[in-house]
Amino acid sequence: MNTEQGAPGGVAVFKASGRIDQNTAEAFQNALLDALAGASQGLVIDMAAVPFISSAGLRSLMVAARKAKADKIPLAIAALTPAVKEVFAISRFTAVIACHDDLATASAKLKG
Amino acid sequence: MKVRVWGSRGSLPVALSAAGVRGKIKAALTAARGRTLADDNAVDKFITEDLPWETSNTFGGNSSCVQIDAGGAEYILCDLGSGLREFGVHMLAQHGPAKPQTYNVFLSHLHWDHIMGFPFFTPAYIKGNHIRIHACHPDPEAAFRRQQSAPCFPVGLDMLGAKIEFIVMQPGTPITVAGSTVTAMKQYHEGDSFGYRFERKGKAIVYSTDSEHKQENKSETQSFVDFFRNADLVIFDAMYSLADAISLKQDWGHSSNIVGVELCRMAGVKHLMLFHHEPVYDDAMLRRILQETIRYEELERGGEGPALTISSAYDGLELDV
């Protein structure tokens, strides 16, 4: 997982990768919160390389969403893989964080 | 062992409304359009095989009450929600009033929806019957006395004809009841709740309702995996969506279908039964949640390991374990 800072003053992108489950969620959450701390103009979580996310990963996203709201940092998710999109629908997580089809759309929405 | 569900709804009993009945009739008639359905057999076959389950059936609306038939002469019940009334009617039809029976009850906790059926349990009014109420809370009797006191109910607990005993269990200390070994485990719920594991002749059934799984540390998760370990059936509180359970309804003391799948898969459980249904959900929504849960299990398993059987409890469901 890594974070790509956008243009100065722009929206940052956090690139998640791999299966996010009880074995990896803690590292995912720590990296995501670090990324959020340096993304005052907004953060897009790129999920294009995440084949599956379990409840542990969704809880990490919820922690990040709460932190972003408290710190008034715009947050969005982009490029869900088909399986993760299904998990989001089944868990009703689509109502928690705004999800967009691709990075460009998500970034544009955050720049608003 | 056999399980019979008498009440599967959470928090509050509900009933199918007139609009709900009309909707099912309309859906059935629409599906029957153009068919001859010439005799009763054809009608039965159409109902059973061609109509969607949510059209030809209903999940029912009684609050928690599950019978576990372990093969002994005495009865075992988990919780005394409104489903208990119908169980009592069934008992009288089966045994009549003159043949005394022993009922062993295991209470998850003392919230109203889990004890509200008791004042309407006809066998409790009949001398000779013996009702043994097991609970892990320190004074379960007080809740029953309060429930059957003015102004809540006109018949006090002391006026009931059956012999009623309250037995306080210790979590983690197995007891033998009606031929089954029963072990309780403390769960996270306002005022505490307790799950029960029933074991007999190599089979195991776990009743775990009104239990929130916060999964904040691995030891908490592992304790439930150990409690569920290799169970043939886990009856699981799946009242909320995961998103609701960890946001708006956090600390409301209930869990989700997704966590049910994950815990049961980790524990090597054979069959997960979704239970304690949200009262605002209709039959179509509960059926949709069942299909989604089956799909989540496929995604989570990723083609590796044995599949977990998943069903959704409904009032009247009977299951051989």
Taking a contact as any Cβ pair under 8 Å apart, which residues of chain B between 213 and 242 contact chain A? 215, 218, 221, 241-242
> How many structural domains does chain B have?
2
Q: What is the ipTM of this complex?
A: 0.93
Range of the domain at B38: 18-56
- Does B167 share its domain with B244? yes
Give residue A7's pLDDT band: very low, low, confident or very high (50, 70, 90): low
Backbone angles phi, psi at B104, to 5 degrees: -105, 115
Whether B321 maps to a domain, the answer reads no
- pTM for the model: 0.96
B241 min Cα distance to partner chain A (Å):
6
Closest CA to B242 of B232, B234, B227, B254: B254
- Does B10 share its domain with B130? yes
Whether B210 maps to a domain, the answer reads yes
What pLDDT, on the 0 to 100 scale, is given for residue A10?
81
CATH number of the domain enclosing B273: 3.60.15.10
What pLDDT, on the 0 to 100 scale, is given for residue A8?
53
SS3 call for B259: helix
- Does B168 share its domain with B270? yes
Whether B301 maps to a domain, the answer reads yes
User: pLDDT, tens digit, for every residue of A24-46?
Assistant: 999 999 999 999 998 989 999 99
**What radius of gyration do chain B's Cα atoms show?**
20
Kindly state the average pLDDT of the residues B54-62: 97
What pLDDT, on the 0 to 100 scale, is given for residue B70?
87
- Does B49 share its domain with B120? no
The nearest alpha carbon in chain B to A59 belongs to: B246
Q: Given strand B180-187, what is the order of strands in its sheet?
A: B175-177, B180-187, B193-200, B203-208, B233-237, B271-275, B309-312
Contact, B282 vs A69, CB < 8 A? no
Which domains, from first to last, does chain A contain? 2-111 (3.30.750.24)
How many helices and strands in chain B, by DSSP H and E? Answer: 9, 14
User: pLDDT, tens digit, for every residue of A62-107?
Assistant: 999 999 999 999 999 999 999 999 999 999 999 888 899 999 999 9
A90 min Cα distance to partner chain B (Å):
6
User: pLDDT, tens digit, for every residue of B16-54?
Assistant: 999 999 999 999 999 999 999 999 999 999 999 999 999
Tell me: pLDDT of A111 over 90. Answer: no
Alpha-carbon dihedral angle through residues B35, B36, B39, B42, given to the nearest 10 degrees: -20
Residue type, B304: E
B288 interfaces chain A, CB cutoff of 8 Å: no
Closest CA to B133 of B83, B192, B177: B177
Do the chains contact at A54 and B215, CB–CB below 8 Å? no
Mean pLDDT rounded to a whole number for chain B? 97
A48 min Cα distance to partner chain B (Å):
17
Give residue B194's pLDDT band: very low, low, confident or very high (50, 70, 90): very high
Question: Which of B214, B221, B300 to mutate to probe the A interface, most A CBs <10 Å?
Answer: B300
What pLDDT, on the 0 to 100 scale, is given for residue A6?
57
A23 interfaces chain B, CB cutoff of 8 Å: no
A90 interfaces chain B, CB cutoff of 8 Å: yes
Tell me: pLDDT of B97 over 90. Answer: no
Alpha-carbon dihedral angle through residues B27, B29, B32, B38, given to the nearest 10 degrees: 150
